[in-house]
A and B are shown apart, each in its own frame.
Chain A
Amino acid sequence: MTDPAAFSPAPALGGSSRTALRIGAGLARRRAAEKRFRAYGLTAIVLALSFLVLLLGTIFSNGYTAFSQTHLRLDIEFAQDAIDPEGKGDANALADGDYQALAKAALRKAFPEVKNRRAKRRLYKLVSGDAAYELQRMVLADPSLVGQTRTVWLTASDDIDMLRKGNVAVGLPESQRRIKDDELAWVAALDKQGAIERRFDTRFFTGGDSRDPEIAGVWGAVVGSFFTLAVTLILAFPLGVMAAVYLEEFAPSNRWTNLVEVNINNLAAVPSIVFGLLGLAVFLNFLHLPRSAPIVGGIVLALMTMPTVIIAARASLQAVPPSIREAALGIGASRLQTVTDHVLPLAMPGVLTGTIIGMARALGESAPLLMIGMVAFIVDIPKSPFDPATVLPVQVYLWADSPERAFLERTSAAIIVLLAFLIVMNLSAIILRKKLEKRW
């Protein structure tokens, strides 16, 4: 304590007065505390960022391969007797043709040395089960193909796809592999001819779910999410804003409104699965709304989102200066006119921010939707909010639960689509908010 300069590198102001010495002595400690605090903050941010990078990196490195799909080139003979043996030529007859046989025949022709029945069955599995439908679609689109031979690229099976993407451990003994040695040889032969290649997979973005990973698409879930969120927004936004406006601008403050307030805050903290149970009990069992439908999912998510919207809207209504209300009332605007003409437009950016947060949470929600049957396996792309559908997070959950190796990359790819959906949604809301702010 004899020399305060030893404790603090700061130049001693005020000479050697008692106060100056005391302050000087404490200065080093204060500065160290501040430095420490900054270091903690920086560490926290670096840690958080590195985890985020790790997470996104894993998802992208696992998922980007799902955007391309392996295809095989085969010379398909559109044989009359397999497609339309009776020679009717109408669409119904063409649709009934045995297109599986065409693909099989082409494979047999490509590898004539395969005689063994088991080996043949493996050979047929080089192409996807969907190949027959691809051929059927070609013929239905152009019936003149019947009787001709064409070179066609068909979707390969998921096992071959995984092999080409390097996800099969070829070093293991044959008995432990799904892909046997002869299959490897066929693929190598096709590769030599240039008859095997990876192409951008549009079907992943345009198709519905499937049991076959190579043709499973995310579009059904995207449309389902869209319908669900549309219902949520249509219900939660106006109801939430109106509730907030009433509570903030019109309601007398008494015991009842206090009770309502407390309960709205409580509702915001209720676990989402509880809303799912409520939806099951009320909307499905009591009101008999359709099961697995976005309309019900949307209502349930709206119930879940509304407290968030109300709380955010009330906060931003409170932030509007009272002088604006007085100004409007002072020239004879009614209370409603004051709110609609002045207070609400000023509060809108804040209200929208709250709504974005609520909607983002609703987009990522799966638990309550499981309760109302949106976890079903649905192939068809929903056409309205009343059709059975699933949503993106539930699709991720379903695929993550599937045993096929190829679903792993689909899972990650679906997460990428989910994140993109979220970014698009938030971006449009932010642009909308900026526009509203500029009007003033």
Chain B
Amino acid sequence: MNQHLDLKNFVAPPDVEIHQKSAARDASDVKMSARDLNVFYADKQALFDVALDIRSRQVTSLIGPSGCGKSTFIRCLNRMNDVIDICRVEGAITLDGADIYDPAIDPVQLRALVGMVFQKPNPFPKSIYENVAYGPRLHGLAKDREELDEIVTTSLEKAGLFDEVKDRLDEPGTGLSGGQQQRLCIARAIAVSPEVILMDEPCSALDPIATARIEELIDEIRENFAIVIVTHSMQQAARVSQRTAFFHLGTLVEVGDTAEIFTNPRDQRTQDYITGRFG
């Protein structure tokens, strides 16, 4: 993957203008926010005093070299780090102003509101229908079979997969192609109507065509969710996101509008990274 972006000749994609307009929303649009976030794996500190806001109806991309803490950060947002015994989280993360690390908060409830799509497509080894229906059934979102069918259909439609699979909803989800599997995972995440969707390098295991399809999809669904995407591809960050945060060695170096970050980075490290000097 060519990560060498020529800053001088950087041409913003035509829709960046629009993005910037939508990016210029007021602070009331902040969906999730992290303050003074420090994360430790046993004795090793992975994140240092990270403060970052995630806004509604926007795609926020997290970029940075491997091991810089992007994935750790995104996994803090839905408390997926809880399952790691040695992981310790300090600081505050709020969702609509409520502390998600409050002991009274059940991670199950949180994860229904903050969905996640993983790096490797990981559909359940069940039918396509069951994959999407699992979440709604788990949370009792559908009163009857009809309503469940409705949720499955609309989720698959939103994920742009319905036309491809409508005749074979009973077939195993693992039989789909990689790109289709990843869209199935997105449909599965959408099915529980979350407010935030976290995507941890959702395209890194996909070919360019499937990647383009997923990127289109992200752009289509962002009106309804706050989306956070971790990516190694700076082109992808530039294409899909309105805001970009650059992580380096566990610290948040710089955050701002995507066009701003890529054309006019304030920090030297950001500039070095996006011009391909390291990473």
Q: Apart from A328-B124, A333-B108, list 10 A-B contacts with CB within 8 A.
A: A326-B118, A327-B185, A328-B134, A329-B83, A330-B111, A330-B116, A331-B116, A331-B135, A331-B188, A440-B172
Given the interface pairs A346-B125, A440-B172, the reply to whether A329 lies near B80 with Cβ below 8 Å is yes
Question: In the complex, A335→B172 CA distance in Å?
Answer: 24
Q: How far is the CA of A440 from the CA of B124 in the complex (A)?
A: 9
- Cβ of A47 within 8 Å of any chain B Cβ, yes or no, is no
> Whole-angstrom distance from the CB of B205 to the nearest CB of chain A?
11
**Residues from chain A with Cβ under 8 Å of B139 in the complex:** 332
Assess the B85–A324 pair: CB atoms within 8 A: no
**B residues touching A (Cβ–Cβ < 8 Å)?**
78, 80, 83, 85, 108-112, 115-118, 120, 122-126, 134-135, 138-139, 172, 185, 188-189, 191-192
A318-338 contact mask (Cβ, 8 Å, vs B): 1 or 0: 000101111111111111010
A327 near B80 (CB under 8 angstroms)? no
Give Cα distance in the complex from A328 to B122, angstroms: 10
Neighbouring B residues of A346 by C-beta, 8 Å: 125
| A252 nearest CB across to chain B (Å) | 6
Q: Which 7 A-B pairs have the closest CB atoms?
A: A323-B122, A332-B112, A330-B116, A332-B111, A331-B135, A440-B125, A327-B122
> For B78, what are the chain A residues with a Cβ–Cβ distance below 8 Å?
330
Question: Cα distance A432–B188 when bound, in Å?
Answer: 31
Please tell me if A404 contacts chain B, counting CB pairs below 8 Å: no
Q: Is the CB of A337 within 8 A of B80?
A: no
Decide: A341 near B134, CB < 8 A? Known: A329-B80, A330-B116, A331-B189.
yes
Which residues in A have some Cβ–Cβ distance to B below 8 Å?
A: 252-253, 321, 323-335, 337, 341-342, 346, 440
The reply to whether A330 and B124 contact each other, CB–CB distance below 8 Å, is no
A324:B122 contact, CB within 8 angstroms: yes
- Do A323 and B118 form a contact, CB below 8 Å, given A329-B83, A332-B109, A332-B192? yes
* Contacts A323-B120, A324-B122, A440-B125; A330 near B134 (Cβ below 8 A): no
| B192 close to A331 (CB less than 8 A) | yes
Q: How far is the CA of A298 from the CA of B104 in the complex (A)?
A: 46
Q: Which of A252, A327, A335, A337 contacts B118 (CB 8 A)?
A: A327
- A66, chain B: closest CB distance, angstroms: 49
Residues of B within 8 A of A334 (CB): 108
A36 → chain B, closest Cβ, in Å? Answer: 44
Q: Name the residue of chain A whose CB is nearest to the CB of B138.
A: A333
Q: Bound state CA distance, A342 and B80, in angstroms?
A: 17
- Point out the residues of chain A lying under 8 angstroms from B116, CB to CB: 326, 330-331
Measured in the bound complex, the distance between the Cα atoms of B191 and A331 in whole Å is: 9
The answer to whether A332 and B122 touch across the interface, beta carbons within 8 angstroms, is no
Give every chain A residue within 8 A of B188 (Cβ-Cβ): 327, 331
- Whether A253 lies near B85 (C-beta < 8 A) is yes
